[in-house]
Structures are given as C-alpha cells and as structure tokens.
Structure 1
Amino acid sequence: MSARVGVTLSGRYRLQRLIATGGMGQVWEGVDSRLGRQVAIKVLKAEYSTDPEFVERFRAEARTVAMLNHPGIASVYDYGETELDDSGRTAYLVMELVNGEPLNSVIKRTGRLSLRHSLDMLEQTGRALQVAHSAGLVHRDVKPGNIMITPTGQVKLTDFGIAKAVDAAPVTQTGMVMGTAQYIAPEQALGHDATAASDVYSLGVVGYESVSGRRPFTGDGALTVAMKHIKEAPPPLPADLPPNVRELIEIALAKDAIHRYRSGGPFADAVAAVRAGRRPPRPNQAPTIGRAAPAAIPSSTQARAAIEPARPAPATPRPRPASGNHRPAPPARRTFSPGQRALLWAAGVLGALAIVIAILIVLNAQDRQDQKNQQQSTVTNTITETTKTPGAPTGQSASLPKLSGPAIS
C-alpha cells in the first residue's frame, strides 16, 4: 500500500486528507488514534526514506526540534518508520496541525499586506527563529510557505530542521533542497554553510515581498534567480513606505552576512524599533551564534584621551608683595619642552594605532570569510524549487482577512 486516504502508519496515525506535496514528500492531515487528536503527518519520499544516512540525520533533527518550546514554532510530536507494501520502508514525522493559512496564500489573495501586519509577522517570526538559533539550529528554508498565520494573527514557523538534514545528505539526486531559490541567501547559493544570518536574509526577502507585493528577484529558472541574489541589488521598495522600514529591509538583504543582523533576535529587536517609529539599529557585526565575540572597541572619548598630548602648564605668576593674609603659592606645574611634547604626542598616536590594529586583527580572524570570489559554477546543485497543492478552504480571520482552515507547510 502507498500513502493514501485511510492508510494507518505504525498502527496509530490514520491519513485523512492530503494537504500538500513538496520536494521531500507529502503532508497529510491525519488523526492520532491513540490520543484522539488531529495532527499533520509528513511522509517522506522513497528516495529519502531508503537513504540510511539521511534517515539518521532526519531522526536526530526531529529529536532536537521536538525540544524547541515556543508558541511561534509548530510542535513536533513523533517520528516513525513503517513498511508500505509497494514503497518499502517509509519514514514520517508527526507535527502540530496548525489552524491557519500559509503566508504565501495570504499574499496571493490580498496582494501587499498592510505595514502593521507585515511588521507584526516579521517580529514574531524573528522571535521564533531566535529560539532555534540559540539552540544551534538553522532553518535554511524560511519562506512564506513555511510561515503559518492563525485566525488570531499568531505566527507558526514550520519545517524546522528538515532543510538541514537534506543539506547534510549526499547530493545524488536532482531536486536536492537547500533553500527555495526565491528566498535563498547569497552564501547558500554559493554552496557555503548556512548560518543564522542566512535565515535573517531569507526573512528579509519575505519582508520585502510582504510590504511591496512582489519578490525582489525573479527569473526564468532557479539558477537565474539565485545568481541575482548573489550579484544584484534588489529593486527599490515602494516610495510610500517609511524610510525606517526601507532601511530595515535593506540591512536584512545585505549580500555579506556580516552586515546583516546576526540572528533572529536582533532582527526582531530592529523590527520592534521600527514599529515604535525609530530607525532600525545598525548590526553590531558580532559573529554568529557559537563563536566568541570580539573585544570591545574603545569609545571616541577614550581614543582622544589616548592620543592627546599633555597641555603645557600656565606660566608661574609674578610674586606679589606680602600682606597680612598672605597664603603660600602652590608649587609650579611641571612643564615640557617642545621636543618632549612631540615625543609624547607620537607615543600616544602609536599606542592608539596599536590598539586599533589589534582589534582589526581579531575581527578579521573571527568574522571575515572570503565569500565574494567563488565561481558561479558552485551554485549548481544547491537550488531547487518546491511545488505545493492548493491550501485548505478559506475561513475568516480577526487579524488578516479570510484566513483558511487547518493547514501545514
């Protein structure tokens, strides 16, 4: 038997309705017959289920993601493997069934989201990503199809860990997923390791699309779009957007990861600042999670103090005649000759330069990766596109208009 309506996996999870089909398999709405609750079940394709290395990594990721506890992350309930007569052994993942609508469906139906809804969605998604980033996980496939919006406006991020497991498996099939081309970070497109800042870039693309109603880069194929992410600046955002919103998206879409927010938390903080009417803070250029932070750079006041020469003391006043209330004059300050002052000035400048050079060496050793001279040919085999079946029937929403019923990425 194959995965179809009525099939029960491992004697417990009964498939009821096909929700979506993607590059890795199918997502079904089903019921947990043991607990009597509705769930979403991702059934992997045969080529993944029969790859021992992939299955092992997928299993480990499922365990890790199951430990993430946050209202903005769809929960993982169970993982299993079962025999299907005509498909062999099949792996599956049991997840929370989110009562909501994928963001891509919302954008398709409404076009450009309101600025209030867009910023709220971006901040919520950034907070959810930070939970994973703090645990050392990188999503690697942040896109509107993996961002669910409930009728109350709650964001639920889905498919955590899936893309990471695929990336770790040997690339032996066409269609190996490492990020959807329209939302992929430049370093991912070049074949480099994805970091938390890569998720921030992808979320920046989602933000661009939400506030403008269009994606920053389009093209005839995945490779063309990926090359634009690597080389081209995104088209200007609509002029009616506030400057601080445009600045926020521009920072998130920086080609070099060091110029973006390093993880979901700082990005969410920047969104909160914009929502409060302020400019987004500049990224502090600290390295991504898991690496030591650089030494603090001295403030401008400290730097001036280090290089300013000693000021000459005022000339000793001419003695006055003694009087009844005469007080002894204070001792004269030590003065320096012009040659001594020049030496002090030079020593201060050299000392400040030594501090700056040492800081630059530390920053360069920790944060700079030469990602700009990679050959375009490394992009091949890193990009795929995902197809999905139509979403669930449309319902009503208190936050975004006409949100659908139960769905999952």
Structure 2
Amino acid sequence: MLTNGAMIADRYRLQRLIATGGMGQVWEALDTRLNRRVAVKVLKAEFSADPTFRQRFRTEAQTTAQLNHSGIAGIYDYGETYDPSAGETSYLVMELVQGEPLNAVLSRLGKLSVNQGLDMLEQTGRALEVAHAAGVVHRDVKPGNILVTPTGQVKITDFGIAKAVDASPVTKTGMVMGTAQYIAPEQAVGEDATAASDVYSLGVVGYEALAGKRPFSGDGAITVAMKHVRETPPPMPADVPANVRELIEITMGKDPQLRYASGGEFADAVAAVRAGHRPPPPIGAAAAGPIAEDATHVLPPGPTVVLPAGQGEGPTVRYSRPAAAAVGAGAAPTAAGAPATMMNEHGGATAVPPQGGKKPWTTTQKVLAGLSAAAVLLAGAVLWLLFGGDTDPEPDRPPVTTTIAPQPPLPPTTQPTTTRYVPPPPPQTSEPEPTTTQPPTTTPEPTTAAPTTTPEPTTTARPTRTQRPTTSRTLFPTFDLPFPEDSGARGPSGTVSAPTTSPQGQQ
C-alpha cells in the first residue's frame, strides 16, 4: 500500500495522490535527484506481475518518450522495482501538468461553449498529429486522458498505455474503465486500432463536450460498444452550429475510410470550421468511393444509415462521389430529378449531375409544345394590346407628341383632349423633364413660347394642375424608388448570411 512520503526506486518521493484509475494510481512526487515535481503512475499489481505486459509497456513508453510536443505530457522515466508490500511494481514518470482532466471540467460546467470546444478539439488534434506521424496510436482517447491547464492549454496523457494493456490477458476482465464510451467501431469488433480510431474517439469527446452528454449509453460496456458499431449518434442540439454538427458527424463515421484519417487532418477540419466554413471532406473518402460496397460489408446493418447506401442523410451524401452514389443509392437521385451534392476541397457544395439521360421528345410532343408556346404568345399579345397602354406610361408620350402637332389650331378640341393627354401643351420641353420638374416648367414655358397662344396653354395648364392622370403618372417615379433601396439592402443581407463572414465557431 503506497502512502505519502513513500519512495519509489529510491528517487521519487510520493507527496500527494492525484487520481486512482483502472490501471493504478497517479501521484504527485518529487524527483529527489533533479529536484523537480513530477507525476508518477504506479501500475496495479496484476499489470506489473505480467511479463508480457511489462515488455510491451516498456517498449511503448520508450516510443512515446520520443514525442516532443507542447500538447503531449512528456515521459521522463520508466522503471520496475520491488515493493515488499506490493511485490513487483512498474511505474511511469511523466510531466506534472497543472490542470484538471476534461471529464472533471465537464462535470463542473456541464458542457463547453462552441469556441472552447473547438479550441480543445483542434489542440488535441494537433497533438495527435505528432504521434500519428511517428506511428504511435493512443488507442484510449477520452476526457480522462485530456488535461486542461488554467490557461486553456490541452495536454494528452497515457500514450502507449492502452496498447500495452490490449496485449495483456488482464484486459479480458474489463479493468480499463471508460474505454467503451469512446471506443471506435473497428476496435469494438476486434480490428486493429489506427490513427482514424483515435480521431473517432476524439469526435465522441467533442460530441460530449458540445452537447453536454455522451452519444451512447447503456447498462454495460458491451452494450455501449455495440451501439458505437450499429447505431447512428443522436442529433446534436440545435444551438450547435450546423458546420460544427457536420464536423462531428464526419468524425464519428462508422467506416474509418470515410472519416478523417489522422489527428492533423482532423485539426485542419476544425480550423476550417472555426473560420466559418463547412468542414472539408476527408481525403480518404475519395479513395473509398469505388469500393462503397466494402464499406457496407465492414459494418452490421445499423450503420448503413451513414454509408453511401443511406437515405440521403449524413456526411456520406455530401461527400460521396457520383460513382459511389450510383452504387449505393441506386436510382434515388435520378428519380427525384435533382442532382446530388458533393463537398469540394474548398468547403463548398458542387452539384453532381444525375445518373442517366432523358429520352428525346417525340414528334407529337414537339408539335404540342409548339402549339402551347404559340398560344401563350398570342394570349400575351392580346393582353398587351388591351392593357399595355395603362401599365406602361413611358411609351404613351411619344405618340401623343406626334398626334398633337395638328391640334394647336383647334382650341375647343384641345381642352377635352388635354384632359386625356397631359403632355400636349409643353410637348417640346416635357420630354427632357418628365419626372419632377414638369409642374414648375409649365408656367414659364407658355409665356415664352408664343404670346398669341398664351391663353390657350394657360387654360390647358389649369387642368394639368388638377388632372388625375398626371398625378397617377407621377406616382411611377416614386414607385420605382424602392428598387434601388431594395437592391442596396440585398448587399448587406447577403454579407450577413454568408457563412464565411461570421465564424460560426464563435457562436
């Protein structure tokens, strides 16, 4: 039994118990040789007593010690010692991180904001990128292994431990707690874990951090693990931005080829979402297109909802290639008459033409179409002849000026005609000033045009001031005013609605 003040390998003095887990205990200790504070993970006796586990764990610790990244808790030392009370004892000396596990943060806050959640996911993805580039797979990404400092920096712990545990017969007893809640489908069915498996687990962490709950729950670890294999995650809350929900959907894809293949690719997708864009399609999705059937055979019937054979929902519909859509979705897109959509490399949507061509028209169909078009044109011409003069005031003025030329010598007839044709008295000056200056120009123009005919225009000018038709025609310029205002209003509204101008990650 370890207690405060106990010495490990005559070098590390235990000072405070930090946490107790399925694999052992984590202590804050003092390195008496270097006089620095460290974290010491002391493994349980059942792990320390297994030679196979010790060898595997030793190798993984040496590999993980080569990873140098600010987001990875450094490994300083590994050793095996004998404790009279506990027997063989294996220990791992790590960097002491001043912070708390993410699961403790979620227990206290319930969930993270969108900005905090995306920041945490991107940092974790960058740290996994370094490990994946070195060929190291974490295999147990979960909130308990993600430490958050008071400044918001993220550090991943326990690299290599899960892989060593997996090689030990002790794992059959279920000593590793919490793994089933975040396990990737391929791991649950006994396949080897890859970098894409870490990405899936990180996607589950993101789901929990942003939604405030885990996507799957059940009575036991096996039940939860099988839900990861067969069931589609429930929709995330509506207050989570659409591109963030889409990011998590892609990351939690059942088929490893249809999700982000490494921590770096996932981190790049998170960065795009934080900038207000849609998440880019996984690089492996393009390579998986021609073999869409293999994707459906890998998993049981449940996950087919998110595979190319689905019902048009989920990430595969957005990121499937035309060939994959033809194989998996059959004739559904072409029957609906609408092209499928596919994400391009810039995060936009590209229309994919529907499969199959249309049959050519028959002669009867062409004749009927021509007759229908002729009937529509004839009806439009009749309507224009009947009502065109009332709806278009501008074309009426040129014919009025041409027909009024012989009317000036008939003053009696001009009065009734002026009630119907307003512009005749000032035909020459009304053309350049048809909109707003017509009322003030009517009074000076009769006096300057001809003194003999001044009384006639003045008599005709009086009805022009009281004429209803002129007031109705002056309404057309005022009716046209809202259009420039509307067109100007469309610009700001377009910029506001553009997803790229408002980073949805900060909502």
In the superposition, the TM-score normalised over structure 1's length comes to 0.70
- Separation (CA, whole Å) in 2 of partners of 1:257 and 1:172: 24
In structure 1, the residue matched to 2:198 is: 199
**Structure 2 counterpart SS, 1:131:** helix
Q: 1:93 and 2:92 equivalent?
A: yes
Extract structure 1 runs of 4+ deviating beyond 6 A.
Answer: none
**Structure 2 counterpart SS, 1:90:** strand
One-letter amino acid of the structure 1 residue matched with residue 298 of structure 2: Q
Structure 1 contact 167–178 (Cα < 8 Å) conserved: no
**Structure 1 counterpart SS, 2:37:** strand
Identical amino acids, percent of aligned pairs:
69
1:26/1:201 Cα in 2 relative to 1: closer, same or farther (>3 Å)? same
Structure 1 contact 140–178 (Cα < 8 Å) conserved: no
Structure 2 contact 229–300 (Cα < 8 Å) conserved: no
In structure 2, the residue matched to 1:348 is: none
In structure 2, the residue matched to 1:263 is: 262
- Separation (CA, whole Å) in 2 of partners of 1:115 and 1:148: 18
- Separation (CA, whole Å) in 1 of partners of 2:187 and 2:178: 8
> Match for 1:372 among 270, 276, 299?
299
In structure 2, the residue matched to 1:308 is: none
**Structure 1 counterpart SS, 2:119:** helix
Q: Quote how far apart the aligned CAs of 1:371 are.
A: 2.9
Structure 2 contact 165–171 (Cα < 8 Å) conserved: no
One-letter amino acid of the structure 2 residue matched with residue 248 of structure 1: L
Q: 1:106 and 2:105 equivalent?
A: yes
**Structure 1 counterpart SS, 2:78:** strand
Say what the alpha-carbon RMSD is for the aligned residues: 2.2
Q: Quote how far apart the aligned CAs of 1:177 are.
A: 3.3
Structure 1 contact 8–15 (Cα < 8 Å) conserved: yes
In structure 1, the residue matched to 2:231 is: 232
Q: Quote how far apart the aligned CAs of 1:259 are.
A: 0.8
Q: Quote how far apart the aligned CAs of 1:87 are.
A: 1.5
In structure 2, the residue matched to 1:32 is: 31
Q: Quote how far apart the aligned CAs of 1:370 are.
A: 5.0
Post-superposition CA distance 1:67-101 (Å, at most 9, x none): 10000000000001111002211110000010011
Structure 1 contact 141–178 (Cα < 8 Å) conserved: no
In structure 1, the residue matched to 2:167 is: 168
One-letter amino acid of the structure 2 residue matched with residue 90 of structure 1: T
One-letter amino acid of the structure 2 residue matched with residue 166 of structure 1: V
Post-superposition CA distance 1:381-400 (Å, at most 9, x none): xxxxxxxxxxxxxxxxxxxx
In structure 2, the residue matched to 1:149 is: 148
Aligned length: 301
**Structure 1 counterpart SS, 2:270:** helix
In structure 1, the residue matched to 2:280 is: 281
Q: Quote how far apart the aligned CAs of 1:3 are.
A: 2.0
In structure 2, the residue matched to 1:18 is: 17
1:368/1:233 Cα in 2 relative to 1: closer, same or farther (>3 Å)? closer
Q: Quote how far apart the aligned CAs of 1:267 are.
A: 0.4
Q: 1:158 and 2:157 equivalent?
A: yes
Structure 2 contact 259–285 (Cα < 8 Å) conserved: no
One-letter amino acid of the structure 2 residue matched with residue 182 of structure 1: Q
Would you tell me which structure has more helix in proportion to its own residues? Answer: 2
Q: Quote how far apart the aligned CAs of 1:170 are.
A: 3.2
In the superposition, the TM-score normalised over structure 2's length comes to 0.57
One-letter amino acid of the structure 2 residue matched with residue 111 of structure 1: G
Q: Quote how far apart the aligned CAs of 1:192 are.
A: 1.1
Q: How does 1:7-406 map to 2 (within 5 A)?
A: 7-171=6-170, 173-177=172-176, 180-285=179-284, 360=290, 371-372=298-299
Structure 1 contact 166–176 (Cα < 8 Å) conserved: no
**Structure 1 counterpart SS, 2:282:** coil
In structure 2, the residue matched to 1:328 is: none
> Larger relative contact order (C-alpha < 8 A, sep ≥ 6)?
1
One-letter amino acid of the structure 2 residue matched with residue 372 of structure 1: L
**Structure 2 counterpart SS, 1:99:** coil
One-letter amino acid of the structure 2 residue matched with residue 268 of structure 1: A
One-letter amino acid of the structure 1 residue matched with residue 299 of structure 2: K
Structure 1 contact 163–179 (Cα < 8 Å) conserved: no
- Separation (CA, whole Å) in 2 of partners of 1:368 and 1:153: 38
Q: Quote how far apart the aligned CAs of 1:190 are.
A: 1.0
Post-superposition CA distance 1:322-368 (Å, at most 9, x none): xxxxxxxxxxxxxxxxxxxxxxxxxxxxxxxxxxxxx94xx689x96
The structure with the largest alpha-carbon Rg is 2
- Separation (CA, whole Å) in 2 of partners of 1:152 and 1:143: 20
One-letter amino acid of the structure 2 residue matched with residue 278 of structure 1: H
1:168/1:277 Cα in 2 relative to 1: closer, same or farther (>3 Å)? same
One-letter amino acid of the structure 1 residue matched with residue 236 of structure 2: L
Structure 1 contact 102–144 (Cα < 8 Å) conserved: yes
Structure 2 contact 230–299 (Cα < 8 Å) conserved: no
**Structure 2 counterpart SS, 1:126:** helix
One-letter amino acid of the structure 1 residue matched with residue 132 of structure 2: H
**Structure 1 counterpart SS, 2:79:** strand
1:172/1:98 Cα in 2 relative to 1: closer, same or farther (>3 Å)? closer
- Separation (CA, whole Å) in 1 of partners of 2:49 and 2:210: 42
- Separation (CA, whole Å) in 2 of partners of 1:44 and 1:14: 16
**Structure 1 counterpart SS, 2:72:** coil
Structure 2 contact 255–295 (Cα < 8 Å) conserved: no
- Separation (CA, whole Å) in 2 of partners of 1:286 and 1:178: 32
Q: Quote how far apart the aligned CAs of 1:173 are.
A: 4.9
Q: Which runs of 5+ in 2 are unaligned?
A: 302-507
- Separation (CA, whole Å) in 2 of partners of 1:172 and 1:257: 24
**Structure 2 counterpart SS, 1:200:** helix
Q: Quote how far apart the aligned CAs of 1:135 are.
A: 0.8
